[in-house]
Structure 1
């Protein structure tokens, strides 16, 4: 039987085989684990590259900086403004491809400038089961996916992260704020800011895994099923509704199915595009 520690050994071997690597680092569960594993495998032959944009909350950027500083990892922050990419604002179904292609081209440039042999990103085995157009860009640009290569799942990454003492082992899953928009709805700075403030409010109130999906000026809130009862308590319900209206939403709704990854992909009718 293959254990998670067997998989971790495979991960270490694969990372060592790269020789040196630039890790796309967002401070999320997966990229933090990958970056630390790369440091253990390659020492100072690792750099972290973090993209700064309006779809990346400031709290995540600050966490990324703090982690690299604490662990002695050299970090390079690159400006990667998705809204400047041709076609991105229109939010097509391949939005993530457009973003990742532009981002990884920049990371490759940084990697080469700094003498790194490879670029690595943190997708895991769970990402194989959803519509992930960004992985097409990963493949096209020759970016390594060490966690998928070692067949590590999200749950296994969390377990190993806990063993390693990483602060992200129980951190909420995160995706860029542009993923909160229904396909075809124009993405702009104002609405990205509305979503960011709304999700920060829920996190500050102690909700653990949140999404505020945006449909026009309607907010569709997703929290863990076990926290639905708490969010509809009178004091919480009225505070959330009042604040989100203050942020610019006209209507505030709660998704009774609760949080789930890729809920915007449920609207895709073309089954081929979801492969």
Structure 2
């Protein structure tokens, strides 16, 4: 099935819109197919500010109004405690809020940007989507991540080369209770690195005042050479900055 065919069958839908590559393509494809697509961005301590900015820019480009839902997943103790199924409980909270708001706005169908490359066995949050009846058009149409990037490039979307971005909660070790202050420190440190031109990296909490910096092989030599500079740059957030000796696997862009 083609996306255009799917939207012809479902011309009115709400979309969980993160501002990432997958949902950006889905929004643009739906609008171009003539469907009435309402994007919703869930603002929480898990989402960095740049994601909201990207979502607003993409919605404006598509000619639609972005609706923002404020939510604190940490209000759920099963999310806050950060056990192995934290993602499931978090997704359940987020998509329950999305479905409630979408229904109030007159949208019975809720979509998300899960693509055909996403492994359900490695994504407990996908169980929550199934339970709540959320549809994933990219996955249903067999569109892989590389195809998402190719189609996005053809449509002129800047997200075609935007690195995949997992929520800030993934930077906290499983089993360590999630503290909003830790999320803010990680976001601040990652903003600093992005400002220096680094991309597709992670800053992971490793101790109360230490973090592990993971960069791709292409950037590893630079990071190693700039180790002292990076430590000084991130000192407002972490007293100790460790560089992972194992390079982060770079995601193919094309």
> What SS is found at the alignment partner of 1:127?
coil
* RMSD (Å), alpha carbons: 1.6
Residue in 1 that maps onto 2:242: 253
Inter-CA distance 22–78: structure 2 relative to 1 (3 Å threshold): same
User: Which of the numbers 195, 208, 211 marks the counterpart of 2:202?
Assistant: 211
Q: How many angstroms does 1:86 deviate by?
A: 2.4
Tell whether 2:21 aligns with 1:32.
Answer: no
Residue in 2 that maps onto 1:159: 150
Q: Deviations over 1:51-103 (max 9, x none)?
A: 01111111111121122123211221001111111221110111111111111
* Distance in 2 of aligned mates of 1:187 and 1:42: 42
TM-score scaled to structure 2, two decimals? Answer: 0.93
* Distance in 2 of aligned mates of 1:156 and 1:222: 26
Alpha carbons 2:31, 2:62 under 8 Å: kept: no
* Distance in 2 of aligned mates of 1:16 and 1:214: 45
Q: How many angstroms does 1:130 deviate by?
A: 5.6
Residue in 2 that maps onto 1:147: 138
* Distance in 1 of aligned mates of 2:99 and 2:84: 25
Tell whether 2:215 aligns with 1:242.
Answer: no
Residue in 1 that maps onto 2:11: 19
> What SS is found at the alignment partner of 1:214?
strand
* Distance in 1 of aligned mates of 2:239 and 2:17: 35
* Distance in 1 of aligned mates of 2:218 and 2:43: 33
Q: How many angstroms does 1:129 deviate by?
A: 6.3
Q: How many angstroms does 1:239 deviate by?
A: 2.0
User: Which of the numbers 223, 227, 233 marks the counterpart of 1:231?
Assistant: 223
* Distance in 2 of aligned mates of 1:20 and 1:28: 21
Residue in 1 that maps onto 2:105: 114
Residue in 1 that maps onto 2:214: 222
* Distance in 1 of aligned mates of 2:249 and 2:221: 17
Inter-CA distance 176–214: structure 2 relative to 1 (3 Å threshold): same
* Distance in 1 of aligned mates of 2:83 and 2:112: 23
Alpha carbons 2:3, 2:138 under 8 Å: kept: yes
Alpha carbons 1:11, 1:149 under 8 Å: kept: no
* Distance in 1 of aligned mates of 2:107 and 2:8: 13
Alpha carbons 1:19, 1:117 under 8 Å: kept: no
Alpha carbons 1:46, 1:74 under 8 Å: kept: no
> What SS is found at the alignment partner of 1:243?
helix
Q: How many angstroms does 1:260 deviate by?
A: 4.1
* Distance in 2 of aligned mates of 1:239 and 1:16: 54
* Distance in 2 of aligned mates of 1:160 and 1:147: 12
Alpha carbons 1:210, 1:223 under 8 Å: kept: yes
Inter-CA distance 191–151: structure 2 relative to 1 (3 Å threshold): same
**Gapped runs of 5+ residues in structure 1?**
1-8, 262-275
Inter-CA distance 260–94: structure 2 relative to 1 (3 Å threshold): farther
Alpha carbons 2:217, 2:249 under 8 Å: kept: no
What is the aligned residue count?
Answer: 249
Mapping of residues 52-131 of structure 1, within 5 Å: 52-128=43-119, 131=122
> What SS is found at the alignment partner of 2:28?
helix
> What SS is found at the alignment partner of 2:181?
helix
**Gapped runs of 5+ residues in structure 2?**
none
